[in-house]
């Protein structure tokens, strides 16, 4: 995880070449460097009974305190 900084309570780690987390909440991964152009590839799994909310965000102005940014909501069971 040398290129990433984690925030929040998620248990981010590297498994089989992928960044994964399966416990905790409010976890963000932030790159240590800034990028002008980039591509994001992600996969997300949750069972039908799980309460989950997840997203990917880009161009966060203050990575130490994630806030307004371009965000793609992935899965949200909240009403």
Question: Tens digits of per-residue pLDDT, 15-63?
Answer: 998 888 888 777 778 888 888 888 888 777 766 665 566 677 777 766 6
pTM value? 0.57
Q: Rounded CA gap, 45 and 25, in Å?
A: 15
Q: Rounded CA gap, 35 and 10, in Å?
A: 24
Q: Rounded CA gap, 27 and 53, in Å?
A: 11
Quote the distance between the C-alpha of residue 5 and its chain's center.
11
Q: Rounded CA gap, 51 and 47, in Å?
A: 9
Residue 73 has pLDDT above 80, yes or no: no
């Amino acid at each position: 995880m040398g290129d990433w900084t984690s925030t929040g309570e998620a248990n981010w780690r590297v498994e089989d070449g992928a960044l994964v987390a399966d416990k905790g909440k409010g976890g963000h991964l932030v790159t240590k460097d800034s990028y002008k152009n980039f591509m994001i590839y992600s996969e997300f799994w949750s069972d039908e009974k799980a309460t989950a909310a997840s997203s990917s965000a880009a161009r966060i102005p203050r990575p130490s305190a994630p806030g307004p940014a371009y965000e793609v909501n992935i899965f949200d069971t909240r009403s």
